[in-house]
Chain A
Amino acid sequence: MTMPMYVSPEQLMKDRADFARKGIARGRSVIVASYATGIAFVAENPSRTLHKVSELYDRIGFAGAGKYNEFENLRVAGIRYADLRGYSYDRSDVTARGLANAYTQTLGTIFTQESKPYEVEIAVAQVGSTQDTDQIYRLTYDGSVTEERGFVAMGGTSEPIATALQQQWSADLPLAAVLRLAVSLLEGPEGEGHRDLTAADLEVAVLDRRRPRRTFRRLGGPLLDALLDEASATEDVPTEDDSRPGLHDTLTEPTPSETERSEAPTGHPHSNPQTQRED
């Protein structure tokens, strides 16, 4: 009879962690950072449809780094969790803390019990009514969770980015400054390995604390160009959606045109239809 070779638990966990870390380091980085009027998500992602950043709930956003199919799976699970919770209690009862707890347990279980750990790092951010009440959670492949103050950098070569953010980020920065800082850090230091990133290589979204109900908006088009342009006076996103009809998940107009628009903000304030109209 052959005996399986003995592997110490320490070695087993270390091997799994090394495997996951290598997978994550192959991807590009994602930055989540709080700014004066919201929380910004900046990812290097040339794809326009396969997202790294997404809406989970009214005031909660998600960012993933590493293997797409794995963090996409977690994203969908998070939306299901949030919608189920909001449906059975109320919309105001869905919190990033609850989501982070569910994710940490899930990732921890997968890390120890599945044949291969997830090669992902994710962030769950909830925008508060003030910057002090913003919550940003970072979760790694083994299920460890940390609540970060102000910003998170994940995936790829995130350590130098986190160090630079520590020095250069401050709470009162306007959105445009935070975006320019994030893009310059994603581009890497001058010299070898430096890449020039344009709006087309980036996936940028915000949770805007000034908005009621659903606060998540992607940024694109002339608005994103203006925010990234140092010469432009555009410092923040408008609180009104684009005037074009259709899905209102992306803001592209720096100053929305003066057309007639819906007075009702997108989304419902409560789960119970009887209490949704505010008179």
Chain B
Amino acid sequence: MTVGHGRGLPPEFLAPRSSSFSEFLALRAPELLPGALGRAGGEGTLEAPHGTTIVAVTFAGGVLLAGDRRATMGTFIANRDMEKVFAADDYSAVGIAGSAGTAIEIVKLFQVELEHYEKIEGTLLSLEGKANRLAAMIRGNLANALRGLTVLPVFTGYDPDDGTGRIFSYDMTGGCYEEQRHHSVGSGSLFARGALKKLWHEGMDEERALSVAVEALYDAADDDSATGGPDLGRSIWPTCAVVTESGVRFVDDGRLEELARQIVEARRGNPGGAR
């Protein structure tokens, strides 16, 4: 790290500047920015672990974000129990698909960015403001994305102005799009989206939304080899964050296990879950 030693805080620390931590980091220690390695140059694409499927589901009074736990490198399972859904701050959560290492760096920077703004300004960023900050970080990763290290997040948050949960999706050039009702990204998203379309209903409560999200992930894992299904042997269940007026909360593993076992049981002899 490059905090000055012996001469006190370097001038960048004392200069009047914006409340953005990522802008400060770009000035002070650009080598710590996510994707710094992409900008350093070099040819060809890299093979690195990729995270796979994330689903976001709105319900009455909030939004829920769930992800499977598998990271793959080609056909090789790089990690069975990685986390892909994170609390960004008290009222928002972010889920990531794509290059795992870069994605985790982006989430780490995004979390500091939001808290830094909160401390300096003494107020929360608006939900749209948070979504736009994340877009800027994804745009900053474009050089990496061109080398195969794409990061595609889903950002969900509770909007206190209208009392609803909202979903934002991104493209690799930093485009930020608001999604209605539900959304999914990652290699298993085709199958998860199909399931969400059939299972989602207007005005669902949190419990129902949770079982819809877990079932959509199950369908994704059913048809996509890069998405991990519930692992009964190792007790690995999806990660699921619920964002409501009272903040971000992670669903306990006990509840997720119960839901996963129910789905496995219901699919016995009915593998497509026809109903």
For window 58-96 of B, CB contacts with A under 8 Å fall at: 82-83, 86-87, 90-91
A85 within 8 A of B: yes
Q: A76-B120, A105-B7, A106-B9 are in contact. Are A83 and B250 (CB under 8 A)?
A: no
Residue of B nearest to A107 (CB): B8
For window 229-272 of A, CB contacts with B under 8 Å fall at: 245-249, 259-264, 266-268, 271-272
Segment from A49-57, A152-160, A167-175 that makes contact with B: A49-57
Segment from A15-23, A86-94, A127-135, A191-199 that makes contact with B: A86-94
Q: Using Cβ atoms and an 8 Å threshold, which residues of chain A touch B21?
A: 80, 83-84, 87
Interchain CB contact (< 8 A) of A276 among B3, B87, B160: B87
B155 to chain A, nearest CB (A): 14
Interface of B is mostly: mixed
For window 5-61 of B, CB contacts with A under 8 Å fall at: 6-9, 12-14, 16, 21, 24-25, 28-29, 32
A2 within 8 A of B: no
Q: Using Cβ atoms and an 8 Å threshold, which residues of chain B touch A259?
A: 246
For window 86-126 of A, CB contacts with B under 8 Å fall at: 86-89, 102-109
Interchain CB contact (< 8 A) of A80 among B24, B91, B123: B24
Q: Is the CB of B9 within 8 A of A54?
A: no
A276 to chain B, nearest CB (A): 7
Q: Is the CB of B119 within 8 A of A273?
A: no
Q: Is the CB of B247 within 8 A of A261?
A: yes
B149 within 8 A of A: no
Q: Using Cβ atoms and an 8 Å threshold, which residues of chain B touch A103?
A: 8-9
Interchain CB contact (< 8 A) of B249 among A73, A264, A274: A264
B252 to chain A, nearest CB (A): 8
For window 211-262 of B, CB contacts with A under 8 Å fall at: 239, 245-250, 253
Q: A109-B7, A261-B246, A262-B90 are in contact. Are A84 and B29 (CB under 8 A)?
A: yes
Q: How far is the CA of A87 from the CA of B91 in the complex (A)?
A: 21
Q: Is the CB of B111 within 8 A of A102?
A: no
Q: Is the CB of A246 within 8 A of B3?
A: no
B142 within 8 A of A: no
Q: Is the CB of B246 within 8 A of A102?
A: no
Interchain CB contact (< 8 A) of B119 among A54, A73, A245: A54
Q: Is the CB of B246 within 8 A of A260?
A: yes
B32 to chain A, nearest CB (A): 6
- Contact code string B85-109 (vs A, CB < 8 Å = 1, else 0): 0110011000000000000100111
- Contact code string A64-89 (vs B, CB < 8 Å = 1, else 0): 00000000011011011101111111
Q: Is the CB of B246 within 8 A of A73?
A: no
Interchain CB contact (< 8 A) of A273 among B9, B13, B86, B123: B86
Interchain CB contact (< 8 A) of B104 among A51, A79, A246, A273: A273
Interchain CB contact (< 8 A) of A55 among B25, B109, B119: B119
Q: Using Cβ atoms and an 8 Å threshold, which residues of chain B touch A274?
A: 82-83, 104
Q: Is the CB of B119 within 8 A of A79?
A: yes
Q: Using Cβ atoms and an 8 Å threshold, which residues of chain A touch B158?
A: 245
Q: Using Cβ atoms and an 8 Å threshold, which residues of chain A touch B120?
A: 76, 79
Q: Is the CB of B90 within 8 A of A248?
A: yes
B269 within 8 A of A: no
Q: Using Cβ atoms and an 8 Å threshold, which residues of chain B touch A102?
A: 3-4, 8-9
Residue of B nearest to A91 (CB): B112
Instruction: Give 3 closest A-B pairs by Cβ, nearest first.
Output: A262-B247, A105-B8, A106-B8
Interface residue ranges, A against B (CB under 8 Å): 49, 51, 54-56, 73-74, 76-77, 79-81, 83-89, 102-109, 245-249, 259-264, 266-268, 271-274, 276-277, 279
